[in-house]
Amino acid sequence: MIQTVQTTAFTDQKPGTSGLRKKVRIFAQPHYAENFIQSVFDSLADFAGETLVIGGDGRYLNREVIQTAIRMAAANGFGTVLVGRGGILSTPAASHMIRLHKAYGGLILSASHNPGGPDEDFGIKYNIGNGGPAPEAITDAIYARTKTIDRYLTLDTPDVDLDRDGETLVGTTRVRVVDPVAAYADLMETLFDFPAIRAMMASGTRLSFDAMHAVTGPYATEILERRLGAAPGTVVNGTPLPDFGGHHPDPNLVHAHELHARMMAPDAPDFGAASDGDGDRNLIIGRNIFVTPSDSLALLAANAHLAPAYAKGLAGIARSMPTSQAADRVAAALGIPAYETPTGWKFFGTLLDAGLATICGEESAGTGSDHVREKDGLWAVLLWLNILAVRRQSMVEIVHDHWSLFGRNYYARHDYEGVPTAGADALMAALRAQLDTLPGTTVEGLTVTAADDFAYTDPTDGSVSLKQGVRILFDGGSRIVFRLSGTGTEGATLRLYLERYEPNDGKLDHSVAEALAPLITAAEKLASIKTHTGRTEPDVIT
């Protein structure tokens, strides 16, 4: 018997860069998750009898919200629900499962790199039938619906046993609990030269993969240790925990500092990597060399033809606007188009669907390709391993070769977290007010060639996204970008992105801090960060 539950709207359910993210205490309020899930369903059409994929990153509240979502999907008329065993599905594995089973869409329960636990964060995102994040037209419709919703549909049925594979009926809906790892691991085997990587492992190459107590543990153990023969213990922190062991599952040099220390030690492994809460990000560190995510994107694109899936070449390379322009130089050398999109994977979906881009990436440690419609942490690790297996060089050699060919884009991101929203908004407003007068002026010896608030028109459907970040471009290819995060759950987070280009006949071994120093001073002069945020230093530098 379908139950119609009366509810009242919440005013704060606006999806951000990647779904709705809130503190657990907000999500745990009566009707809060239900309202959002029903608003998703109310924004969709013609899904009666169709398949919905549900899974999450295993964080606190995951199992409870999965049971809620199953009942609501059944009450709303989905024919089949596919759930990852244990309620687990990494974001890229969910994307693949949607595509593999031709599902209508999927609900992914995750707040990604945000910490988990009773006092931390939870999230829900909706992905469409291509496996990718819902585009803005849908997230806008969902938000509009959350403001007027007055009822949701559910069933009074017992919990589904999430820990046993198999099928049960919830109402008249078939609920199938499936292996979260196998199909994804099989997909990876079709993309990469597993025998070559296995041979490299057998000849003594050593890896270290930090799963950060998040969702990639089971995936990395199956793929790296079981299928590729990496030594047992290659995967560290491999058991997903509801609170990620009390850490931020954010693969950057701050939160994955143990991996960094291991990779800089005298007996370091050859290759190190980490992934985030929901498995869509990757951090790559070679022995004695950290590879920035922007460089990793450029290097993967330049070498992708060494892996079977990309042997025929790439159609195009897409990067988010704040991501360094290193990948553009690769695209130019390959004679293929380079696309610049707003931040967030949802903007890559149409380019991938249309076959315009093959590889996409973001400075925030996200890279992926047309094999799914999400960024994919383990995919990046495997493409790197495939490249290493073919080139038989060290990471240091491969990265230095790249710089000597293309020049180096020195790059860093400074995050000012949890700053008062009013101050952050005032900072952005003051920057926007200067945009018209900046070109032609000089700051810290740098001449401004252009300044704008990034606007994007999707080349496939013409949809327009405005105010995606203020960028200030300087003579010689350097840039400063300012934008506010859309994934935080407390106050505002200001992101300052700094990039300086050094051509291949220049000095390629500066320290990053030294190379970017003039830009950091220029950013303060242009934006008065200290005055607006009350901070003298960023909280996190990546």
Interaction partner, residue 77 (ligand VG1, Co ion, none; CB < 5-8 Å by kind): none
What residue ranges in 115-250 does DSSP mark as E strands? 121-127, 151-155, 166-170, 173-178, 207-210, 235-236
- Give the residue, chosen from 62, 112, 139, 364, that forms a contact with Co ion under the rule CB under 5 A: 112
- Give the residue, chosen from 213, 281, 287, 479, that forms a contact with ligand VG1 under the rule CB under 6 A: 281
- Touching ligand VG1, residues 150-179 (CB under 6 A): none
Q: Which of 39, 43, 90, 112 is catalytic?
A: 112
- Touching ligand VG1, residues 238-257 (CB under 6 A): none
Alpha-carbon gap, residue 217 to 57, rounded angstroms: 11
Q: Which is nearer to ligand VG1, 110 or 173 (CB)?
A: 110
**121: β partners:** 23
Nearest distance in Å: CB 251, ligand VG1: 9
What residue ranges in 292-371 does DSSP mark as E strands? 317-320, 338-341, 359-362, 366-369
- Touching Co ion, residues 260-299 (CB under 5 A): 276, 278, 280-281
Taking alpha carbons only, the member of 273, 250, 249 closest to residue 378 is: 273
Conformational region of residue 213, where left means phi above 0, alpha means psi within -120 to 50, and beta covers everything else: left
Interaction partner, residue 17 (ligand VG1, Co ion, none; CB < 5-8 Å by kind): ligand VG1
Residue 176 φ/ψ, nearest 5 degrees: -110, 120
Written as six digits, the tokens of 391 are: 């080139």
293 belongs to the binding site for ligand VG1 (CB under 6 A)? no
Q: Find how far residue 248's CA is from the centre of its chain.
A: 15
42 belongs to the binding site for Co ion (CB under 5 A)? no
Candidates 149-157, 240-248, 340-348, 353-361; binding stretch for ligand VG1 (CB under 6 A): 340-348
> Do residues 382 and 308 touch, judged by C-beta distance below 8 A?
no
Interaction partner, residue 486 (ligand VG1, Co ion, none; CB < 5-8 Å by kind): ligand VG1
Interaction partner, residue 136 (Co ion, ligand VG1, none; CB < 5-8 Å by kind): none
Q: Which is nearer to ligand VG1, 173 or 487 (CB)?
A: 487
362 belongs to the binding site for Co ion (CB under 5 A)? no
* Radius of gyration for the alpha carbons in the chain, expressed in angstroms and rounded: 23
Interaction partner, residue 343 (ligand VG1, Co ion, none; CB < 5-8 Å by kind): ligand VG1
Taking alpha carbons only, the member of 359, 361, 208 closest to residue 284 is: 208
Burial 31-41 (b: 16+ CB within 10 A, else e): bbbbbbbbbbb
57 belongs to the binding site for Co ion (CB under 5 A)? no
Binding mask 456-495 for ligand VG1 (x = CB under 6 A): -----------------------------xxx-------x
Residue type, 14: K
Candidates 107-115, 226-234, 411-419, 526-534; binding stretch for Co ion (CB under 5 A): 107-115
Alpha-carbon gap, residue 288 to 296, rounded angstroms: 15
Question: How many helices (DSSP H) and strands (DSSP E) are in the chain?
Answer: 17, 27
> Do residues 222 and 96 touch, judged by C-beta distance below 8 A?
no
Give the SS3 label for residue 482: strand
- Give the residue, chosen from 13, 80, 216, 364, that forms a contact with ligand VG1 under the rule CB under 6 A: 364
Written as six digits, the tokens of 367 are: 């890279």
90 belongs to the binding site for Co ion (CB under 5 A)? no
Does residue 43 have an active-site annotation? no
Name the residues that contact Co ion, by CB under 5 A.
112, 276, 278, 280-281
Name the residues that contact ligand VG1, by CB under 6 A.
17-18, 112-113, 276, 280-281, 320, 343-345, 362, 364, 366, 485-487, 495
- Catalytic annotation, residues: 112
